[in-house]
Amino acid sequence: MLSKALTHLAHEGRETLIPGPQVLGHLEVSVLLVNDAGMRRLNHLYRGIDSTTDVLSFPLLSENPVLCTRHLLLGDIVISLPQAKRQAEEYGTTFNRELVRLLIHGLLHLLGHDHEKSSYRAAKMRRLEAGLAEVVCL
């Protein structure tokens, strides 16, 4: 699923930190699934917010990534499974679809997108999320 999304972004020329399609086979993302307590701890430690959240992303790429090993590490995505379940119920979707949506959201953060900086960036990120969800058949 993530490979489909990355391939789409690289081939469509989206504004991301992926240098191009030639590195697609070398990209690596770590995904950690946690409970609310674990997510709350991470959210507090890294963002200073003492509550749970649905997804956190920890990018490892710089503005000019260099493939210096066999793999290009994009970063880590952390998802709270209980929060994903609650959101799936709230949004009237399946748990699996919500997990995929959160993975896409986290992936876009790893690639430099940030919906918290402006309403323009938030709208742009929502459009990218919707487009990628379509690519991965949601």
Tell me phi and psi for residue 13, to 5 degrees: 70, 30
pLDDT at position 21 is 47
User: Of 41, 61, 60, nearest to 51 (Cα)?
Assistant: 41
3-state secondary structure of 101: helix
As a 3-state breakdown, the chain gives helix, strand, coil percent values, each rounded to 5, of 55, 15, 30
How far is residue 108's CA from residue 125's CA, in Å, rounded to a whole number? 8
35-75 pLDDT, tens digit each: 999 999 999 999 999 999 999 999 986 555 555 556 678 89
Helix (H, G, I), strand (E, B) or coil at 49: coil
Q: Would you say residue 115 has pLDDT above 60?
A: yes
Task: Take residue 114 and report the two structure tokens written for it.
Answer: 């940030």
CB atoms within 10 A of CB 71: 12
Q: How far apart are CA 9 and CA 128, in angstroms?
A: 9
Q: Which two tokens stand for residue 7?
A: 């391939």
Q: What is the mean pLDDT of the chain?
A: 80
Q: What is the pTM of this model?
A: 0.75
Q: What is the CATH number that goes with domain 2-135?
A: 3.40.390.30
DSSP 22: G
